[in-house]
Structure 1
Amino acid sequence: MTSMSSSTTVSPYNVPNLLTSIRFILAVGVIAFIAMSWFGTALVTFVIAASTDWMDGYYARRYGQVTKLGRIFDPFVDKIIVCGAFTSLVEISGSGVAAWMAIIVIGRELLVTSLRGMVEGAGGDFSASQLGKWKMVLQCVAIGFTLLCLALQTPEPWLVWVTMGTLWGAILLTVYSGIDYVIIASRVMTSETPAK
């Protein structure tokens, strides 16, 4: 029995966690490139990091390499990519990203992380919702367009309008998804039956 259980243990040193580690390095690169005003490089790096987000999760599920480390590390890196980019863009003149926007994004992530820990600690299920996933997509689109406008320096008016539209849409969806998670968490906790 001991040998069988040890043989099915998945090592945290696997391909999915390696891919997540690479995305973490790319996320740090995005933050550094924005700080250095290398907006074109930041855009390319961000697109690579954001577009490969699905790879580690797909590989882990496809080949049975899901680990506790991966379940924590992957969403953590997602938050670093988005929150880091928003925070860095606040300091850039003409980015359109205000400090309160970054605070909303970061605050929502802290709230949802706390709710997830509370619900799953009580034995409930608090998996990411479709609304939360679309929130992530719209945030990435907004960051991408913002970096593109900064890289072009004098973007076309329509591009500026699209960028501002996606940015405000991302903030509104961030708030809405945060409220949705609070409602879900309250329902799960109130319907939770204590274990006997």
Structure 2
Amino acid sequence: MATATDGIVWNVPNRLSAARIGLSLLCFVAICLEWYLLGLVFFLLSAATDWLDGWWARKYNQITQLGRILDPFADKVLICGTFILLGAAADSLIPAWVAVLVTARELLVTALRSLIEGRSMDFSAKWAGKVKMVVQCLAVALSLWRLYRLQSGLDTSPTFDNLLVFVVIAAVISTVYSGWGYVKLAIDMLLDTGEAGK
């Protein structure tokens, strides 16, 4: 039975975040079945909801506590899942260690956010984290497109492969840089409260 708060909790941004999780799962199934073009479509739709739910929440002031949890969780499901599957895929230019790095970074930031926000301090996403997400999404999209072309018997040009390698390297750099930024921020915030040494 619906309650009066359902429209507030399950507003448009939160519904989009939930849809992103569902689309991510469909993307994972497609990749596992080597339906790379369909996987790319599901991935792009899922990534688009990340931009849309954030824009909607800010424009219509629909930021909720659930959304602050659900939105980054949906992002992590999408990014970690696709990198893990692509790291395991044959002919992928994304090494498995990159998937490990991406996943480790997301787990670390999640732990830090839980620690900081548990002390009623703001630990919202920073610009470096947003750039990281864009570069990671580009790396996944290019990888899926390359795998689709190879599967279809179409060659990929050295220029395209070099571009993909460059984007993967950029994703690694942005992952490490943004992760360190969150670590440094957490340390600074804990020092301000006198808790870093405890």
What's 2:20 paired with?
Answer: 23
Match of 2:187 in 1: 186
For 2:158, the equivalent position in structure 1 comes to: 157
Shift of 1:50: 0.9
One-letter code aligned to 1:105? V
Aligned residues, how many?
189
The reply to whether residue 62 of structure 1 matches residue 59 of structure 2 is: yes
Runs of at least 5 residues in structure 2 that lack an aligned partner in the other structure: none
Q: CA RMSD in A?
A: 2.0
Once structures 1 and 2 are overlaid, which stretch shifts more, 38-47 or 58-67? 58-67
1:57: Cα distance to partner? 2.0
1:170 matched to 2:171? The reply is yes
Partners of 1:178 and 1:151 lie apart in 2 by: 31
Of 12, 26, 34, which aligns to 2:9? 12
Q: Give the drift of 1:58.
A: 2.0
Report the Cα distance in structure 2 between the residues aligned to 1:103 and 1:175, rounded to whole angstroms.
12
2:136–2:171 CA contact under 8 A, matched in 1: yes
Counterpart of 1:124 (choices 113, 121, 129) is: 121
Matched with 2:42 is 45
TM-score, normalised on structure 1? 0.90
Q: What's the offset of the Cα at 1:77?
A: 0.4
Q: Distance in 2 between matches of 1:136 and 1:183?
A: 19
- 8 Å contact from structure 1 (residues 83, 102) kept in 2: yes
Q: Which runs of 5+ in 1 are unaligned?
A: 1-6
Question: What's the TM-score once normalised by structure 2's chain length?
Answer: 0.89
